[in-house]
Structure 1
Amino acid sequence: MLSALPDAVLDRLFRDARTHRWWQDRAIPEATLREVAELAKMGPTSANSCPGRFVFVVSPQAKEKLRPHLDEGNLRQTMSAPATVIVAYDTEFYEKLFYLAPNSPDARSWFAGKPDAIERAGFQGSCLQGAYLIMAARSLGLDCGPMGGFDRRGVDEAFFPGGRYKSNFLINLGYGIPEKLHERQPRLAFEDFCTVA
């Protein structure tokens, strides 16, 4: 039987973790980004479809490509972050199910030619995988700033011109500046968002 993680780990991943908007001028090694992705890919998705696709926007050229598609309020925090992850999903993820879901040889037929099923599984799975990426990044000592304030169509045209991938949300990654954090905003009480049936 698995035991609970130590409080210090839970604090790092959840209780003390915050959304960062101010960043130290400190690069993230590519090896760390790779490790983040290797951890994130282990989380579950429907039919093990793994529809999420991540673009780690790191270079000055790629940041400039992203800049015109950011909402004004997200410009500073994104342009100063060492890395920004475009969390997207592959609308043809089902073409890899022969490899990803070998125990379900008919899995491709659940999605191929069914746009509603593709959209639901792609969006839902990439949401999950983006959340796993946040947990993976925090576990490796990075801070995160997830956000949705950007022109999705513009990002798709700039980074995914073929139309196969669709952006979902962005995550700034780096080493935050704790002194710049405001007080944690409230959360709902258990009774306000949970029911035990």
Structure 2
Amino acid sequence: MTQTHDDLTELTELEAQFADRLELTPEAADLLFREARSANSFSDEPVTDEQVRAIYELIKWGPTAMNNQPLRIVLVRSPEARGRLVEHMGGNNKPKTSTAPLVAVLAADDDFHDELPTVFPVFPGARDMLAADDANRRTTADLNAALQAAYFIIGVRAAGLAAGPMTGFDADGVTREFFPDGKHRAFMVVNIGRPGPDAWFDRLPRLGYDEVVTTA
């Protein structure tokens, strides 16, 4: 499915028809979605700890099942840690990860239930149930860490930065390097920074509303 310039123009016009149905301004919608892209190169402008904290303080409010929060993030800043990470990246992800101003390793914490309140009014006994069921707890961690990762990417965009999320790496190797306690599992690596030269691939098509949405 190839998208032409005419297709993109038509899509933009279609989106404009529904823009007044959104509470977001058009500029905010462009920043977060329509004009945002996954970056493949970055400038050398640094990403500060203050920027990352601002991102997290925003995205932590994203909804998850039972309010569980299994996402754990390691910011890879030192040259030594960056080298260890790059060794486990696949193919073209190696140079991208080597040169991004900041790289975040995202992992799921299988013991996330320890952070749930002992008394949970919405689902009494949730903490004990998850503690007793390793398979269910892992599935729950995977789903909700993935949700939080999506919020994280949107938060990076909200900070005016570009994100380059990647799953092309040796997850077991990265887990051993950065989460040796065995309780966290790496599932995504995100390059973060200002986009550099030739940062974008061509925009790929998206399914239309009528291809996705039905009414029962």
TM-score (norm 1): 0.93
User: Which residues of structure 2 form unaligned runs of 5+?
Assistant: 1-21
Measure the CA separation in 1 of the matches of 2:164 and 2:158: 15
- 2:190 matched to 1:171? yes
Rg comparison, structure with higher value: 2
- 2:202 matched to 1:183? yes
Deviation at 1:28?
0.5
Match of 2:99 in 1: 80
What number of residue pairs does the alignment pair up?
Answer: 196
| Alpha-carbon spacing, 1:99–1:8, altered in 2? closer, same or farther (3 Å) | farther
- Identity across the alignment (%): 34
Match among 34, 47, 54 for residue 73 of structure 2? 54
Deviation at 1:177?
2.2
Measure the CA separation in 2 of the matches of 1:157 and 1:69: 11
| Alpha-carbon spacing, 1:101–1:166, altered in 2? closer, same or farther (3 Å) | farther
8 Å contact from structure 1 (residues 89, 167) kept in 2: yes
8 Å contact from structure 1 (residues 49, 100) kept in 2: no
- Code of the residue aligned with 1:142 in structure 2: it is L
- Code of the residue aligned with 1:189 in structure 2: it is G
- Code of the residue aligned with 2:215 in structure 1: it is V
Match of 1:154 in 2: 173
Give 3-state SS (helix, strand or coil) of 1:141's partner.
Answer: coil
8 Å contact from structure 1 (residues 48, 101) kept in 2: no
Give 3-state SS (helix, strand or coil) of 1:72's partner.
Answer: coil
8 Å contact from structure 2 (residues 113, 131) kept in 1: yes
Deviation at 1:153?
0.4
8 Å contact from structure 2 (residues 118, 127) kept in 1: no
Match of 2:52 in 1: 33
Match of 1:109 in 2: 128
Measure the CA separation in 2 of the matches of 1:101 and 1:24: 46
RMSD: 1.9
Measure the CA separation in 2 of the matches of 1:100 and 1:24: 48
TM-score (norm 2): 0.85
| Alpha-carbon spacing, 1:110–1:138, altered in 2? closer, same or farther (3 Å) | same
Task: Tell me whether 120-129 or 52-61 shows the greater mean CA deviation.
Answer: 52-61
Deviation at 1:147?
1.1
Deviation at 1:102?
6.1
8 Å contact from structure 1 (residues 23, 81) kept in 2: yes
